[in-house]
Amino acid sequence: MAPYESWGRFIASHPSSVVPLRWRDSLPPLSEGPYLAYGKGRSYGDSCLNNGGTLLDAAPLSRLIDFDRQRGIIHCEAGLTLDALLNVIVPTGWFVPVTPGTKFVTIGGCIANDVHGKNHHRAGTFGRHIVSLTLVRSDGNQLHCTPNENAELFAATIGGLGLTGVITTAEITLKSIASSDIDQEQIAFTSLEEWDALSGESDASHEYTVSWFDASRSPTRGVLFRGNHAAEGKGHAQRPSVSLPLRPFSIFLQPASMRLFNEAYFWANARRRGVHRVGFDPFFYPLDALANWNELYGKRGFVQYQCVIPTAAGLAPVTELLARIREVQSFLTVLKRFGSLPSPGMMSFPKEGVTVALDFPVGGPRLMPLLDDLDRLVAKAGGAVYPAKDARMSGESFKRFFPQWEAFARYIDPRFSSSFWRRVAYSGP
Amino acid sequence: MNVAVIGATSGIAEAVARRFAKERARLFLAARNPAKLRAVADDLRVRGAVEIFVHQIDFADFAVHDALIAAVRERMPTLDVVLIAYGTLPDQKAIDRDPSAQVAAFTLNATSVISIASRFASLLEDQKSGTLAVIGSVAGDRGRRSNYVYGSAKAAVHAWCDGVRGRLERAGAAMVLIKPGWIDTAMTAHLAKGPLFMSADSAGAAIHAAITRRERVAYVPVWWRAISFALKMIPSSILARVSF
């Protein structure tokens, strides 16, 4: 059964106990602690870990409660995965309003991390589409939270990293679709400035945009992917996800082979022209085809670094960041422009600007000092690093990125905590 | 399709029922706890069940078994599948020297199951169609020190199912005996989970497939058949010395 790891597998998970949550109206007594709800373990670092404490396994809380097919509002338990939700709603002409790059995440995890997707410039974060949620506190109180009712806890819980209690249910506004297919287009670019123009233009015409960068090259180059829901068509069948023994293949994840891969990937995509109709699986969830792709990084695991550089700082910090990482190669570099739609979440990560996500295999003495340098660069630009991806930022950096952390801490349940929170909140100035 | 799930709030039954709901079945759900029953029913409705009936029942109360059958008959003129899935896994050590607790556990897991299953068996025999599926256990294949009360009750159910199968098949109906290994559900919440545990969802898919194919005896997961065979081959003199 599940070993309750985090996705990066860099920080070891050793909870003192794991308690499953089976019925939303009769949770086990939460009289000791510290507790933390655990969904599918898709956070990369330690925000989903509670070493020495108790993990509350929310996976059994996977029931649907109600589905208003006219208005497109789903009411469900928070351990339900996007995968299971899509199975129910897609055949009826609805889609999730916002999705991260994997569908193997729970609704509770989407709320606690206030996740974003390729449509941030149109739809904002996941939290914007929450009509209401139920929060169970360790004192046994079951609170119905909306933007108007228990409004402060609602705001603290969206992006609240699971620290405000257990999210047991949520009501979510869905997006109407005419077909489950996506009309996808990819366009190659050969500099950051070219990407910037292309990105701005694509955001105006397309619901979904995201860009892959070949960060090993200077000037950089890459491929922008953009798509809209198809206007008609009955949709491709859903694609299965397979689990393979991948750990031995980590030896192929070397800078030289990655350069080869980048070269091939760039040219394969640069040569494809025009609009292709694809199923939503390959468009939104390309990596889900390999259920355990994280094991490609071998037994030491990997770290992801995702930051946002606000628009006000201009493109210069992004250029500098891309130059800095050339010395320690990122195996997967993804950029996207965040829009200006505000999140209701107090601790939400996205803000208007450019977000950069980088994957690094763990190992090599230069990686951690480089990431500390990037933290300073991001802080100077007025940006932030995404806690859901983080396994290493200092308490000092965290407090610079999220100066509202002390106001947020007032809403944390006294019996809840996480490895992440103990690492960043109780260290530094 | 008309499906009756007896013990619908068990983790395994819920996972199987989700498959039937997706096939747009009409579902009759019976269980003891009304709040849990409602949560399960709501979920199955959203997942596609065209109609759902719920029935609150204490399975240990033999006096209400006839009323359960009457309620099913009233809602469903013909039955395609009956799944009997309730049970309790007692803490063996705690009841080793408690005869009344042993009898209570045996009564719920065996006598009460046979009381209800035999009523459904007659119904399907008269109807000359349908599948009676009963959740047994690998624990019923060989008595073991760590769970012999549960195991002996399941052994009784196994023997009963094997015999009734002859009656049902002659009439055109079917008997599917499911023998789950270690499944991660509320029943096994207190056990340490190893790699041999199967998720309730995967078990639900396997059981649904076994019912659809009318398999006579289905081990879930299938490789438990080999483990069970090996267990049965161990001489009693050796089994008496190990504690599992």
Among A87-91, A285-289, B3-7, B205-209, the minimum mean pLDDT is found in: A285-289
Mutate to test the interface with A, among B9, B14, B42, B187 (most CBs of A within 10 A): B42
- When pLDDT is cut at 50, 70 and 90, the band that residue A248 belongs to is confident
Rounded-to-integer distance, Cα A107 and Cα A86, Å: 12
Residue A229 has pLDDT above 50, yes or no: yes
CB half-sphere exposure, A240, CA atoms < 13 A: 3
Using alpha carbons, select from B216, B219, B7, B42 the residue that is nearest to residue B113: B7
- Name chain A contacts of B36, Cβ cutoff 8 Å: 23
pLDDT, position A298:
82
- The DSSP-derived string for A332-398 is EEEEEEE-SPPPS-TT----SEEEEEEEEES-STTHHHHHHHHHHHHHHTT-EE-GGG-S---HHHH
Tell which wins on pLDDT, B210 or A291. B210
pLDDT, position A429:
47
Residue A172 has pLDDT above 70, yes or no: yes
- B230: phi then psi, degrees, rounded to nearest 5: -60, -40
- Residues A228, A280 contacting (CB under 8 angstroms): no
Q: Could you tell me the pTM of the whole model? A: 0.94
Residue A1 has pLDDT above 50, yes or no: no
- Residues A345, A125 contacting (CB under 8 angstroms): yes
Among A203-217, A231-245, B77-91, B148-162, the minimum mean pLDDT is found in: A231-245
Q: Of the candidates A1, A23, A66, which has its C-beta nearest B42's C-beta? A: A66
Q: Per-domain residue ranges for chain B?
A: 2-239
Tokens of A299: 């037994």
Is B39's CB within 8 Å of A63's CB?
Answer: yes
- Name chain B contacts of A60, Cβ cutoff 8 Å: 11, 200
Residue A235 has pLDDT above 90, yes or no: no
- Residues A268, A214 contacting (CB under 8 angstroms): no
- When pLDDT is cut at 50, 70 and 90, the band that residue A395 belongs to is very high
Convert B40-107 into a string of H (helix), E (strand) and C (coil): HHHHHHHCCCCEEEEEECCCCCHHHHHHHHHHHHHHCCCCCEEEECCCCCCCHHHHCCCHHHHHHHHH
Tell which wins on pLDDT, A24 or A330. A24
- In the DSSP assignment, the letter for residue A45 is S
Is B43's CB within 8 Å of A65's CB?
Answer: yes
Q: What is the pLDDT along chain B (244 residues), one digit of tens a residue?
A: 999 999 999 999 999 999 999 999 999 999 999 999 999 999 999 999 999 999 999 999 999 999 999 999 999 999 999 999 999 999 999 999 999 999 999 999 999 999 999 999 999 999 999 999 999 999 999 999 999 999 999 999 999 999 999 999 999 999 999 999 988 887 777 666 666 788 899 999 999 999 999 999 999 999 999 999 999 999 998 888 887 7
H or E stretch covering A20: strand A17-20
Q: Is B47 on the interface with A (CB under 8 A)?
A: yes
Q: Of the candidates A20, A22, A64, which has its C-beta nearest B43's C-beta? A: A64
- In the DSSP assignment, the letter for residue B194 is -
Q: Of the candidates A1, A23, A63, which has its C-beta nearest B184's C-beta? A: A1
Q: Is A65 on the interface with B (CB under 8 A)?
A: yes
Q: What is the CATH number of domain B2-239?
A: 3.40.50.720
Instruction: Categorise residue A49: left if φ over 0, alpha if ψ from -120 to 50, beta otherwise.
Output: beta
- Name chain B contacts of A22, Cβ cutoff 8 Å: 11, 186, 189
Rounded-to-integer distance, Cα B153 and Cα B140, Å: 7
Helix axes B112-127, B148-171, angle to 10 degrees: 10
Is A64's CB within 8 Å of B186's CB?
Answer: no
CA dihedral A379→A384→A385→A386, nearest 10 degrees, is: 170
- Residues B36, B11 contacting (CB under 8 angstroms): no
- Name chain B contacts of A24, Cβ cutoff 8 Å: 39
Using DSSP, state whether B21 is helix, strand or coil.
helix
Q: Determine the residue of chain B that is closest to A61 in CA distance.
A: B39
Q: Determine the residue of chain A that is closest to B21 in CA distance.
A: A88
Using alpha carbons, select from B48, B51, B40, B49 the residue that is nearest to residue B75: B51
- In the DSSP assignment, the letter for residue B182 is S
Among A223-227, A234-238, A286-290, the minimum mean pLDDT is found in: A234-238
Rounded-to-integer distance, Cα A355 and Cα A377, Å: 14
Residue A178 has pLDDT above 70, yes or no: yes
Rounded-to-integer distance, Cα A198 and Cα B94, Å: 70
H or E stretch covering A171: strand A166-173
pLDDT in tens, A397-422: 999 999 999 999 999 999 999 999 99
Mean pLDDT of chain A: 93
Tokens of B215: 């398999």
Is A63's CB within 8 Å of B189's CB?
Answer: no
Rounded to a whole number of angstroms, the distance between the first and last alpha carbons of chain A is: 40
Using alpha carbons, select from B156, B175, B151, B179 the residue that is nearest to residue B164: B175
Is B199's CB within 8 Å of A66's CB?
Answer: no
- Name chain B contacts of A88, Cβ cutoff 8 Å: 46-48
With b for 16 or more beta-carbon neighbours within 10 A and e for fewer, the A294-320 pattern comes to: bbbbbeebbbbbbbbbbeebeeebbbb
Place of tokens 């990369």: A44
pLDDT in tens, A251-264: 777 777 778 888 88
Instruction: Categorise residue A35: left if φ over 0, alpha if ψ from -120 to 50, beta otherwise.
Output: beta
Tokens of A75: 């009411």
Q: Give mean pLDDT, residues A383-402.
A: 97
| A279 to chain B, closest Cα gap in Å | 22
Is A1's CB within 8 Å of B47's CB?
Answer: no
Instruction: Give the ipTM.
Output: 0.91
How far is the CA of A5 from the CAs of A15, A111, A163, B116, in angstroms? 10, 20, 18, 43
- A107: phi then psi, degrees, rounded to nearest 5: -60, -40
Residue A347 has pLDDT above 90, yes or no: yes
- When pLDDT is cut at 50, 70 and 90, the band that residue A427 belongs to is low
pLDDT, position B193:
66
| A72 to chain B, closest Cα gap in Å | 13
Tokens of A229: 């829901």
- The DSSP-derived string for B153-180 is HHHHHHHHHHHHHHHHHHHT-EEEEEEE
pLDDT, position A376:
98
Rounded-to-integer distance, Cα A227 and Cα A207, Å: 6
The C-alpha angle with vertex B100 and arms to B99 and B106, in degrees rounded to 5, equals: 90
Rounded-to-integer distance, Cα A260 and Cα A135, Å: 49
Place of tokens 């299938």: B222
Strand A384-385 versus strand A302-310 pairing type: antiparallel
pLDDT in tens, A133-161: 999 999 999 999 999 999 999 999 999 99
